Amino acid sequence: MDAFTTHTGTAAPLRRTNVDTDQIIPAEYLKRITRTGFEDGLFVAWRTNEPDFVLNRPEYANASILVAGPDFGTGSSREHANWALLDGGFRVVISPRFADIFRNNSTKAGLLTVVLPEADVEALWAAIEADPALPVTVDLQAEQVTYGDVTVPFQIDPYTRWRLLEGLDDVGLTERHLDDIQAFENARPAWKPKALPAV
Amino acid sequence: MPKTLAEKVYDAHVVRSADGEPDLLYIDLHLVHEVTSPQAFDGLRAAGRTVRRPDLTMATEDHNVPTLDILSPIADPISRAQVDALRRNTAEFGIRLAPMGDRDQGIVHVIGPQLGLTQPGMTIVCGDSHTSTHGAFGALAFGIGTSEVEHVLATQTLPQYKPKQMAVTVDGELPPGVSAKDVILAVIAQIGTGGGQGYVIEYRGSAIEKLSMEARMTICNMSIEAGAKAGLIAPDQTTFDFLQGRPHAPQGADWDAAVAEWSTLRTDADAVFDAEVHIDATSLTPFVTWGTNPGQGLPIDASVPDPADFADEGDRRAAEQALEYMGLTPGTRLRDIEVDTVFLGSCTNGRIEDLRVAAELLRGKRIDADTRMLVVPGSVAVKAQAETEGLDRVFLDAGAEWRGAGCSMCLGMNPDQLKPGERSASTSNRNFQGRQGKGGRTHLVSPAVAAATALTGRLTAPADLIGA
Ligand code: SF4
């Protein structure tokens, strides 16, 4: 995973609530067995059917920060949604509320999710609608979002922040505790079910 | 300290905890399917890792599989490649797979309980959000992403933070024709699609205790539609009776030891929940959704709402967008909405009891001439059981299609899809835009409402059929 420290780019206003992962990438685009190349499915229904959909507008075509309404990433656990956003050029999603699995997947994939109160999201929407070229900086080190002369702090749990800043792989971290895992396994009751052999 | 059921299960699986770090949680069972696993196996290979516990891992083919002509190779080359990848990966890493045509094949959340692999007090994960289904047995079961699938494959553990605790108490007797599906749709309409976020929901109360295991699975299944991490129900005699004698259930002295342990899995009397919701079962009616998220649902007696009536600006905009997509006008009675397709199946309502309820309503009748009905059993075993009971004949005689097992039109990764603009009444769990096929419009319903709707071609409650 790539480390995330700070990112500056332009931001696209996605004025929708409950953006589920089926909208971020529909099921028919999940058949690929690689980890990249999902940009063709990103918001494909809205991009195809709605000519004035925000990401169809040239002024937002190169945005790398997505600013969405509450309950972003609900629904299916598909990490393809996070990959599609990354493949589509996004490094950060800002929303007042994220679905848990989406948020968790983001921390593994290197996509930063930033929770801001609805009023701050409204203000940011207004600013980037007034000036689509406005640079927005998301600083994970300082835990703040900055644009124009506005600075908004955000919170993230310290452990996740550390992992993102360092770009650390969870499996590697867990492997430091194999002895604990072994000890736990040794104490498990023998009657706990096993899938093998097939009965 | 008094604990909730979910806390007991969680605490019993903590391998390691340290200040300022997530807990390391042991995983008792890891279920795998073809869509969310290929990149995880690639990750293992790239890092030179192996699967730590193939014996605690079980794979099935479900999302892509055709429901017709299942013994021929899959026609869609990309679907076939994904299924082939699962076959190669499970063979290479020594994982048991239930492939198409196997007696154990089916939707991942149907086969776990059916095989007796899902048991009380376990931690269960799968790269699939509806893993919450398994909570019906008093297990802590939740969906994970592909990176986490890789993590579990490699270490049989997951870094986790203890979730918050919510109690949803449903008391009283459910009126006739009202089912578990209506209960959970009503819960989601009440707390919203984000209402359960960060929580594990324990469903309790006299109405829940009376439910069968199938019905409990329907409720826990849709916890994720309320935004919850998991949903669970305390195990009781109904749970034990369901499990006893299943292929992977403990036997003999092991069974007694297991039941003794399972019997301790209840929330302590003085345990505290972070949030509580109460539902009066006697007040419930069949529920249907009108919009494009599962929280946009109403009793079938209602009419399509007017977005102008929503106080919250975001809700109003969401309702406008939903009605436009759904092609609905405010004020239309829900009962007047005509559907093209009825889908009976999925991990929410593709179990034997669901098929029985629907078949009972269809027996000796013909479905509406302009409506097609697809019946897709949740697993090969459900299909076989239904055929033993003659339910396949009931569906076929009524004019419905009887298909092979899989996810099918729940998400339309196989050829079973709605066409643009087509409208369905579906017993699945998601009415998202395009979920059942590009441009398709979905109304979520119970199996009983699905069958009644198939008979009339309009959204219909089973009670409407009496004297009709
Ligand atoms: S039936 Fe539907 S919700 Fe259930 S696992 Fe399959 S695709 Fe997912």
What count of residues does chain B have?
Answer: 468
Question: Mean per-residue pLDDT for B392-407?
Answer: 97
B162-176 average pLDDT score: 97
The confidence score (pLDDT) of residue B73 equals: 84
Summarised one tens digit per residue, pLDDT across range B253-307 is 999 999 999 999 999 999 999 999 999 999 999 999 999 999 999 999 999 999 9
pLDDT tens digits, A33-78: 999 999 999 999 999 999 999 999 999 999 999 999 999 999 999 9
Measured N-to-C along each axis, helices B146-155 and A100-109 cross at an angle, to the nearest 10 degrees, of: 70
- Chain A residues closer than 8 Å to B24 by CB: 174, 177, 180-181
Q: Does B40 touch chain A (CB under 8 A)?
A: no
- Token look-up 């990249």 returns A36
Chain B, residues 336-395, CB within 8 A of chain A, namely none
Is 90 exceeded by the pLDDT of residue A83? yes
Instruction: Name chain B contacts of A159, Cβ cutoff 8 Å.
Output: 20-22
* SS3 assignment, position A164: helix
DSSP state, A104?
A: H
Task: Indicate the DSSP class of residue B400.
Answer: -
Q: Using 50, 70 and 90 to split pLDDT, how confident is the model at B400?
A: very high
pLDDT at residue A88 in the model? 96
**3-state secondary structure (DSSP) of residue B333:** strand
Of B147, B411, B433, the CB nearest to A108: B147
Give the number of other Cβ atoms within 10 Å of residue A152's Cβ: 18
- Res B467: pLDDT: 64
C-alpha–C-alpha distance, residues B65 and B82, integer Å: 10
With residue A130 as reference, give the H or E element that holds it: helix A118-130
Residue B36 CB less than 6 A away from ligand 1 = no
At B34 the pLDDT is 95
Pairing of strands A136-139, A144-147: antiparallel
Q: Is A5 helix (H, G, I), strand (E, B) or coil?
A: coil
| pLDDT greater than 90 at residue A2 | no
B295 vs A64: CA distance, rounded Å = 30
Helix (H) or strand (E) holding B326: helix B313-326
pLDDT at B67 over 80: yes
- B379 φ, ψ to 5°? -155, 165
Asked if residues A35 and B42 have their Cβ atoms less than 8 Å apart, the reply is: yes
Rg of chain A in Å (alpha carbons): 19
Which numbered atom of ligand 1 lies nearest the CA of B378?
1
Burial class from Cβ neighbours inside 10 Å (0-12, 13-18, 19+) for residue A186 reads exposed
Q: For A156, which DSSP code?
A: -
A199: pLDDT confidence band, cut at 50, 70 and 90? confident
> Residue B314's pLDDT is what?
87
Query: What's the length of chain A?
Result: 199
Ligand 1 in contact with B111 (CB < 6 A)? no
Which of A16, A35, A97 has its CB closest to that of B39? A35
Rounded-to-integer distance, Cα B200 and Cα A154, Å: 25
> What pLDDT, in 10s, does the model give residues B307-351?
999 998 889 999 999 999 999 999 999 999 999 999 999 999 999
Give the start-end residues of each E strand in B120-264. Answer: 123-126, 140-143, 157-160, 164-171, 199-204, 230-232
Interface probe for A, chosen from B102, B147, B191 (most Cβ of A below 10 Å), is B147
A163 touches chain B (CB under 8 A): no
What is the pLDDT, as a whole number, of residue A169?
86
Q: Nearest to residue B153, comparing CAs of B15, B16, B10, B45?
A: B45
Q: Which atom of ligand 1 is nearest to the CA of A27?
A: 7
Nearest residue, CB atoms, A78 vs list B36, B49, B430: B36
Instruction: Give the model's pLDDT for residue B69.
Output: 85
| Vertex A127: Cα angle to A121 and A132 (nearest 5) | 115
Confidence of residue B72 (pLDDT cuts 50, 70, 90): confident
Range with the lowest mean pLDDT among B75-79, B221-225, B371-375?
B75-79
Q: Do A193 and B28 touch (CB under 8 A)?
A: yes
Percent of chain B with pLDDT over 70: 100
With CB atoms and an 8 Å threshold, state whether A45 touches B35.
Answer: no
Write the CB contacts of B411 (distance below 8 Å, at least 6 apart in sequence): A22, A27, A76, B63, B428, B430, B435, B436
Note the pLDDT of residue A82.
Answer: 97
Q: Which atom of ligand 1 sits closest to the CA of residue B33?
A: 5
Q: Which of B343, B408, B347 is nearest to B378 (CA)?
A: B347
Burial class (CB in 10 A: 0-12, 13-18, 19+), B70: middle
B96 and A189 within 8 Å at the Cβ level: the answer is no
Ligand 1 within 6 A of B258 CB?
no
d(CA B383, CA A122): 51
**Average pLDDT for B187-191:** 95
Residue type, A55: L
Q: Is the pLDDT of residue B155 over 60?
A: yes
Distance (Å, whole) CA B132 – CA B126: 9
What is the rounded distance in angstroms from the CA atom of residue B426 to the CA atom of residue B430?
A: 9
| B110 touches ligand 1 (CB under 6 Å) | no
Question: Which sign, positive or negative, has the C-alpha torsion B319, B320, B322, B323?
Answer: positive
Which residues in chain A touch residue B156, judged by CB atoms under 8 angstroms apart? 181, 185
What does the alpha-carbon distance between residue B303 and residue B300 come to, in Å, rounded to a whole number? 8
pLDDT at B298: 97
DSSP class of residue A48?
Answer: H
CA distance A54 to B255: 59
pLDDT band, residue A17 (cuts 50/70/90)? very high
Strand order in the sheet with B14-16: B14-16, B23-26, B157-160
Instruction: List the single best residue of B128, B200, B432, B442 to mutate versus A (max A Cβ within 10 A).
Output: B432
Enumerate residues 25 to 84 of chain A having a beta carbon within 8 A of any beta carbon in chain B: 26-28, 30-35, 45, 69-71, 74-80, 82
Nearest residue to B325 (alpha-carbon basis) of B422, B227, B185, B186: B422
B71 or B177, greater pLDDT: B177
What share of chain A has pLDDT > 70, as a percent? 100
- Beta-carbon count within 10 A of B181 CB: 28
The rounded distance, in Å, linking the Cα atoms of A191 and B254 is 6
Closest CA to ligand 1's atom 4: B347
Per-residue pLDDT of A106-129, as tens digits, reads 999 889 999 999 999 999 999 999
Banded pLDDT at B51 (limits 50, 70, 90)? very high
User: What does the pLDDT read at residue B392?
Assistant: 98
Q: How confident is the model at residue B468 (pLDDT cuts 50, 70, 90)?
A: low
CB contact under 8 A, A79 and B145: yes
The chain A residue lying nearest B19, using CA atoms, is A159
Q: Which residue has the tokens 């994720």?
A: B224
* Pairwise CA distance, residues A131 & B65, whole Å: 48
Question: Pseudo-torsion of CA B235, B239, B245, B249, nearest 10°?
Answer: -30
Give CA–CA dist B306/B328, Å, rounded.
Answer: 10
